[in-house]
């Protein structure tokens, strides 16, 4: 058994490979597939100028990682099934062109187009005012911007690991520091791992407080799915402990919250906040399945790590972004001040780390979809779901 | 007859040529000139780091295009006559260094130095507050910044076309998306075309609503001219339907609005808003001519496409930017909210496009200047100009 | 005697060397050392993408210059003594990623990690509101951001000069324009010069008003020192004319202001404002010496050029940035409006320049430390220092 490591770039070591590539032709054989590869190139031109792209292909599942955009996953494909969606933002955007404060704190939406991006680390949720300490230790009001900074912070090191353990494991790891003087200092070490030939991948994240004092952490995994997995008749399935609509708009759709319509011009997003049940090993799983129940996507994670889950239904016209978000998180994406009051903001002591793991699997058969659905049913069998028809004050600001 | 097309870069196709060049030596002969060429290089260092420059030279007229800055025209030269001006901003600025919100929304002025740049697409005019919809469909107040985003948005594709039709045609086309999730989504396809050996070039722009709902468009062509074409005794000539000073400051100069002084330290800009007459083919033309009437520059366009024209007189000291702007537009550059009230904001349905065409000609003889002046006189002969000595409420906010 | 000049890059001349290097092997012999060199490379990846680094090594003293960050000095080393500090910002940040308006105007702190950076040129000091003129000559309120723009403005030209005069002189010069249309237009020509084999270097700065009207200038040299020169028992020594704590927090430490503690978690900065005495040649010198008085660093400058000095004591935990700042300046770093009222803002007429010179010396023996201390004592002997135990209204806003 052997493991080989490759550094694509590292600012500390002043190393940077313009073009990187490793595959079976490099002399590493993985039993799961002969068609695996990991490569890197850099986009040039437009708002994408300077965006590094790492392509990881396990022989069946291919994913495009964006170190320049906080190790987000641009898009993917598994046996002809596209992963991702068609955002009005058509190409990855270099964070150097993104002003998060634009449009009253909604500037993040100028770069939002990934299959998966993170919202955090110091804050996520909508724009609004928070109180922080300045360099003199005085409280000052400051504007939080939509979903924080991590999706627009580039990794300073990216490395690749190929191991021939079992069927063969491919890993890409990025290191991102969201830090400033007199402010939060958090490091995200993010690994994407996939087995050769498999239909799934796992995100293994570790967030560490590099600072000398207690700090706060918010992290949400904004997993975004459009066609073909999302379409008329697609359904969301999950082992729900408690669910409530975020607001009156979501309340309108509460009776059919698990179901999706075809694209509707002018559709206004509906968001459902929920907590999930877990199995005996502490794991939970949610499913998006298409109308014929022969294709789908599942997310598996531990509610202990990611206790609050948001379902974002945004079935707008294709041109405006027909998409749904499956979003496990440390909190609900309300304004940070509200989440802090509700005790849903993680705190980290100096040197303390928080670990997060999510496994995403592409399902391409009736059987594989049914298997996940049965697993969810089994978890749900512990207790009936509590579904509130109206927003509840524990979950959201209710007026 | 043959046409050859070259792609300089295209993010979608992951293509990018560091150095591009085509000329007669490439094997294409144009009858209008043997000295034509189109080439591309990239500026490095300073605020210009990463700015792509496309040099188009028809053998007599040379222009430097900036795909990185919304296909603006940095500067030009025709037989020894410089086109452009000396801005305090001495070099093209990569938009990644421009914060449009700086200086209370005047950040655009940190990059303003082109011979021609566009103001738009979702808005132009001064900074101020507008109401937009957020992701929840709720109205929110947001800060519009001076002259919008398009001049600081890089093209994601740039292509060159060389055709031997007639005397030979050189074209450079850029594609720029000004789009965001939950916001306007507009595409500008911009072509600059010039005939081999000629003294003129044509801008052929098409703006398309990529979004799924009706959207607004504002577009102004900020054409900026300094020495030698602008100097003491230079005059502006146009077939005016109706003209009014923008404000009390412009009112001070209304009696001599067509005339320019030498540079004056501390001069405060004077702006005149006008509508123009057109000829039987729907075309209008305006002229800037020097004091000896042997050099000048004309802009020809269709008032149906660009119905509102601004004359910006900014005869400050050379060090502060001695310049005048000839600015055909879809609107007057007032705050968007005012223009909306006056019915001067274009709306585009989904997939709908608006087309704009402007021909700019450099005049380098008494005869060529006189010819344009005669043409203007002929258009003006339809009806005497209405020149208001004070600002009027239809054109500007009058207190 | 010969001098050779090398241009590393110049946007005006469209020149840029990806990799530059000159040393004795290039055929230039300097008597002071054979181990001298000047080289340039560019950081890639992370927030450092595109940051040019010029390494200047006189054979004994090595410094890393950052043309991309306003010719700041990232870090240095002299015979095993590190110059600089460990900021929570671990790597140089390309200004294209810095939003100075972030965190209520504290965005500058996202890039702050240098041994020496400048604060200015149009303003320095804390965030706050000032009144400026817009393009119409009208007064508008605008937000000044912490410490201004110069540390986040890249040089557009960088050149190297090697001269065999005396023991040999190495110089690196950068040109930076902080300019905009309808705003201040200031050029910094900054030279760092060091003699081969020496323990010191000199910064020779010239700031010129490129604009056509009188303009304001604020400039502060933020010299930041951490371990090993800063440690428990380190002391600050200076020939003080008058000193006062900046605020009540600094007042708490007034009795021991020259002494430093070990890192203290949660320590809130203490800043002391002072004016200094000078010797007969108009020069003053300040010293930081370690507890055993065998290592130190001195700054020598002319109070006529830099009349106001700030001592920034920030003995936080190592993780939060254990550092002290020795900061000679044209003003105290209060809000610009306050400094203007107190007559401490420099004004420059069109074409007028202001010159600044600072010599920094690394001391690595008991004798060299004692020599500087004796020199300071001799300057101080002219008059006893006036040390206020409380903030004074001439220096700071006192409520």
Interface residue ranges in chain B relative to chain C, Cβ cutoff 8 Å = 41, 43-50, 87-91, 94, 96-97, 99, 101-104, 106, 109-110, 112-113, 247, 249, 265-266, 268-269, 316-321
Radius of gyration of chain A (CA): 21
CA distances from B186 to A66, A315, B353, C115 (A): 25, 21, 9, 45
Q: Are C348 and C217 spatial neighbours (Cβ–Cβ below 8 Å)? A: yes
Domain assignment present for residue B399? The answer is no
Residue of C110, C127, C132, C136 for testing the chain B interface, max B β-carbons within 10 Å = C136
Q: What are the chain A neighbours of C265 within 8 Å (beta carbons)?
A: 212-213
Write down the pLDDT at residue C398.
85
Domain assignment present for residue B269? The answer is yes
Q: What whole-number distance in Å separates Cα of residue C143 and Cα of residue C127?
A: 7
Write down the pLDDT at residue A398.
85
Interface residue ranges in chain A relative to chain B, Cβ cutoff 8 Å = 41, 43-50, 87-91, 94, 96-97, 99, 101-104, 106, 109-110, 112-113, 247, 249, 265-266, 268-269, 316-321
Indicate whether C1 pLDDT > 70. no
Cβ of C211 within 8 Å of Cβ of B320? The answer is: yes
Q: What is the DSSP letter of B148?
A: B
In the Cβ-directed half-sphere of C213, how many Cα atoms lie within 13 Å? 16
Shortest CA distance from C152: residue in chain B? B97
pLDDT digits (tens, 9 = 90+) for A315-357: 999 999 999 999 999 999 999 999 999 999 999 999 999 999 9
Write down the pLDDT at residue A26.
93
SS3 C342: coil
Q: Are A348 and A207 spatial neighbours (Cβ–Cβ below 8 Å)? A: yes
Q: What is the DSSP letter of B384?
A: -
Q: Are C182 and B109 spatial neighbours (Cβ–Cβ below 8 Å)? A: yes
Beta-ladder partners of A4: A162
SS3 A76: strand
Determine which helix (DSSP H) or strand (DSSP E) holds B379, and give its type and residue range. helix B366-380
The fraction of chain C above a pLDDT of 90, given in percent, is 99
End-to-end Cα separation, chain B, in angstroms: 60
Q: Are C173 and C158 spatial neighbours (Cβ–Cβ below 8 Å)? A: yes
Distant-in-sequence, close-in-space partners of B4: CB < 8 Å, separation ≥ 6: B22, B28, B161, B162, B163
In the Cβ-directed half-sphere of A390, how many Cα atoms lie within 13 Å? 5
Q: What whole-number distance in Å separates Cα of residue B90 and Cα of residue B85?
A: 10
CB atoms within 10 A of CB A314: 23
B181: nearest CB among A94, A102, A112: A112
Interface residue ranges in chain A relative to chain C, Cβ cutoff 8 Å = 9-12, 14, 16, 50, 52, 67-68, 95-96, 99-101, 132, 134-137, 140-143, 153-158, 176-177, 179-183, 185, 210-213, 350
Write down the pLDDT at residue C205.
98
Residue of A181, A187, A348 for testing the chain C interface, max C β-carbons within 10 Å = A181
DSSP notation for C156-175: SEEEEEEE-STT-EEEEEEE
CA distances from B62 to B19, B163, B179, B197, B299 (A): 18, 18, 32, 10, 17
Determine which helix (DSSP H) or strand (DSSP E) holds C220, and give its type and residue range. strand C215-225
Among residues C183, C200, C184, C201, the alpha carbon closest in space to that of C192 is found at C201
Average pLDDT of chain B?
97
Q: What whole-number distance in Å separates Cα of residue B138 and Cα of residue B107?
A: 28
pTM across the whole model:
0.98
Place of tokens 């002929």: B378
Place of tokens 């933002």: A89
Q: What are the chain A neighbours of C268 within 8 Å (beta carbons)?
A: 136-137
Three state DSSP letters for B182-227: CCCEEEEEEEEEEECCCCEEEEEEEEEECCCCCEEEEEEEEEEECC
Cβ of C181 within 8 Å of Cβ of B94? The answer is: no
Q: What whole-number distance in Å separates Cα of residue B83 and Cα of residue B73?
A: 10
Average pLDDT of chain A?
97
Cβ of B109 within 8 Å of Cβ of C135? The answer is: yes
End-to-end Cα separation, chain A, in angstroms: 60
Q: What are the chain A neighbours of C109 within 8 Å (beta carbons)?
A: 135, 180-183
Query: Quick one: tokens of B53?
Result: 């420059």
Q: Are B65 and B17 spatial neighbours (Cβ–Cβ below 8 Å)? A: no
**Could you give the angle at the alpha carbon of C117 between the alpha carbons of C153 and C227, nearest 5°?**
145
Determine which helix (DSSP H) or strand (DSSP E) holds B363, and give its type and residue range. strand B353-363
B319: nearest CB among C16, C100, C350: C350
C45: nearest CB among A99, A156, A212: A156
**Could you give the angle at the alpha carbon of C123 between the alpha carbons of C122 and C124, nearest 5°?**
145
Domain assignment present for residue B164? The answer is yes
Query: Quick one: tokens of C316?
Result: 């936080």
SS3 B371: helix
Q: What is the DSSP letter of C337?
A: H
Q: What are the chain B neighbours of A109 within 8 Å (beta carbons)?
A: 135, 180-183
pLDDT digits (tens, 9 = 90+) for C23-55: 999 999 999 999 999 999 999 999 999 999 999
- The CATH number covering residue B271 comes to 2.70.98.10
Q: What whole-number distance in Å separates Cα of residue C365 and Cα of residue C363?
A: 6
Write down the pLDDT at residue C149.
98
Domain assignment present for residue A395? The answer is no
Beta-ladder partners of B118: B221
pLDDT tier at B1 (50, 70, 90 boundaries)?
A: low
pLDDT digits (tens, 9 = 90+) for B254-274: 999 999 999 999 999 999 999
Q: What whole-number distance in Å separates Cα of residue B397 and Cα of residue B215?
A: 24
pLDDT digits (tens, 9 = 90+) for B44-86: 999 999 999 999 999 999 999 999 999 999 999 999 999 999 9
Q: What is the ipTM of this complex?
A: 0.97
Three state DSSP letters for C221-234: EEEEECCCCCCCCC
Q: What is the DSSP letter of A46?
A: G
Domain assignment present for residue C337? The answer is yes
Cβ of B185 within 8 Å of Cβ of A316? The answer is: no
Beta-ladder partners of A148: A120
Chain B neighbours (≥3 Cβ pairs under 8 A) are A, C
Query: Quick one: tokens of B203?
Result: 């801008």
Q: b/e per residue, B142-164, with b = 16+ CB within 10 A?
A: bbbbbbbbbbbbbbbbbbbbbbb
Determine which helix (DSSP H) or strand (DSSP E) holds B76, and give its type and residue range. strand B72-78
Q: What whole-number distance in Å separates Cα of residue A85 and Cα of residue C136?
A: 46
> Per-residue pLDDT for chain A (399 aa), expressed as one digit of tens each?
689 999 999 999 999 999 999 999 999 999 999 999 999 999 999 999 999 999 999 999 999 999 999 999 999 999 999 999 999 999 999 999 999 999 999 999 999 999 999 999 999 999 999 999 999 999 999 999 999 999 999 999 999 999 999 999 999 999 999 999 999 999 999 999 999 999 999 999 999 999 999 999 999 999 999 999 999 999 999 999 999 999 999 999 999 999 999 999 999 999 999 999 999 999 999 999 999 999 999 999 999 999 999 999 999 999 999 999 999 999 999 999 999 999 999 999 999 999 999 999 999 999 999 999 999 999 999 999 999 999 999 999 987
The fraction of chain A above a pLDDT of 70, given in percent, is 99
Beta-ladder partners of C347: C216
Cα B133 to chain centroid, rounded: 29
Q: Is the dihedral of CA A225, A229, A232, A237 positive or negative?
A: negative
Backbone angles phi, psi at B177, to 5 degrees: -105, 120
pLDDT digits (tens, 9 = 90+) for C206-257: 999 999 999 999 999 999 999 999 999 999 999 999 999 999 999 999 999 9
pLDDT digits (tens, 9 = 90+) for B294-306: 999 999 999 999 9
pLDDT digits (tens, 9 = 90+) for B138-163: 999 999 999 999 999 999 999 999 99
Cβ of C88 within 8 Å of Cβ of A143? The answer is: no
Query: Quick one: tokens of A309?
Result: 């889950």
Q: What whole-number distance in Å separates Cα of residue C130 and Cα of residue C128?
A: 7
pLDDT digits (tens, 9 = 90+) for C349-386: 999 999 999 999 999 999 999 999 999 999 999 999 99
Cα C275 to chain centroid, rounded: 17
Distant-in-sequence, close-in-space partners of B94: CB < 8 Å, separation ≥ 6: B47, B48, B49, B50, B51, B68, C96
SS3 C371: helix
Q: Are C261 and C232 spatial neighbours (Cβ–Cβ below 8 Å)? A: yes
Number of compact structural domains in chain C: 1
Domain assignment present for residue C299? The answer is yes
The residue segments making up the domain with residue A222 are 3-387
Cβ of C45 within 8 Å of Cβ of A10? The answer is: yes
Domain assignment present for residue B397? The answer is no
Domain assignment present for residue A210? The answer is yes
pLDDT digits (tens, 9 = 90+) for C303-336: 999 999 999 999 999 999 999 999 999 999 999 9
Q: What whole-number distance in Å separates Cα of residue B140 and Cα of residue C345?
A: 40
Min Cα distance A269 → chain C (Å) is 28
Q: What are the chain B neighbours of A106 within 8 Å (beta carbons)?
A: 134-135, 182-183
Indicate whether C56 pLDDT > 90. yes
Q: Omega of the bond prior to B56 within 30 degrees of 0, cis?
A: no
Cα B175 to chain centroid, rounded: 16
Backbone angles phi, psi at C256, to 5 degrees: -125, 30
Query: Quick one: tokens of B148?
Result: 């919008």
Q: Are A347 and A215 spatial neighbours (Cβ–Cβ below 8 Å)? A: yes
Chain A neighbours (≥3 Cβ pairs under 8 A) are B, C
């Amino acid at each position: 058994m052997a493991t080989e490591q490759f550094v694509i770039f590292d600012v500390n070591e002043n190393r940077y490979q313009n073009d990187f590539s490793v595959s079976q032709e490099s002399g590493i054989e993985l039993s799961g597939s002969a068609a695996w590869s990991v490569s890197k190139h850099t986009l040039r031109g437009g708002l994408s100028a300077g965006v590094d792209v790492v392509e990881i292909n396990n022989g069946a599942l291919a994913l495009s990682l964006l170190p320049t955009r906080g190790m987000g996953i641009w898009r993917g494909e598994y046996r002809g099934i596209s992963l991702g969606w068609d955002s009005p933002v058509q190409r990855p955007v270099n964070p150097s062109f993104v002003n998060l404060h634009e449009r009253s704190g909604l500037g993040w939406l100028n770069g939002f187009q990934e299959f998966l991006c993170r919202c955090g680390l110091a804050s996520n949720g909508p724009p609004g005012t928070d109180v922080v300490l300045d360099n003199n230790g005085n409280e000052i009001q400051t504007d939080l911007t939509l979903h924080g900074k991590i999706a627009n912070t580039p990794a300073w090191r990216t490395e690749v690991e190929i191991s021939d353990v079992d069927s063969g494991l491919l890993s890409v790891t990025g290191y991102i520091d969201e830090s400033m003087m007199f402010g939060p200092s958090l490091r995200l070490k993010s690994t994407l791992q996939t087995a050769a030939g498999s239909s799934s991948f796992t995100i293994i994240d570790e967030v560490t407080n590099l600072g000398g004092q207690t700090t706060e952490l918010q992290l949400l995994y904004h997993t975004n799915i459009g066609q073909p997995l999302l379409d008329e008749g697609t359904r969301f399935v999950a082992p729900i402990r408690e669910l409530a609509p975020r607001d009156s708009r979501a309340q309108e759709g509460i009776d059919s919250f698990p179901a999706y319509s075809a694209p509707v011009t002018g559709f206004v997003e509906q968001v459902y906040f929920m907590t999930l049940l877990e199995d005996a090993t502490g794991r939970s799983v949610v499913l998006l399945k298409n109308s014929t129940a022969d294709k789908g996507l599942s997310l598996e994670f531990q509610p202990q790590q990611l206790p609050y889950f948001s379902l974002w239904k945004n079935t707008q016209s294709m041109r405006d972004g027909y998409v749904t978000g499956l979003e496990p998180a440390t909190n609900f994406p309300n304004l940070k001040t509200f989440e802090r009051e509700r005790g849903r903001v993680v705190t980290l002591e100096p040197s303390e780390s928080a670990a997060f793991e999510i496994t995403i699997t592409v399902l391409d058969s009736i059987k594989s979809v049914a298997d996940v659905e049965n697993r969810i049913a089994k978890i749900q069998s512990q207790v009936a779901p509590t579904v509130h028809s109206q927003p509840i004050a524990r979950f959201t600001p209710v007026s």
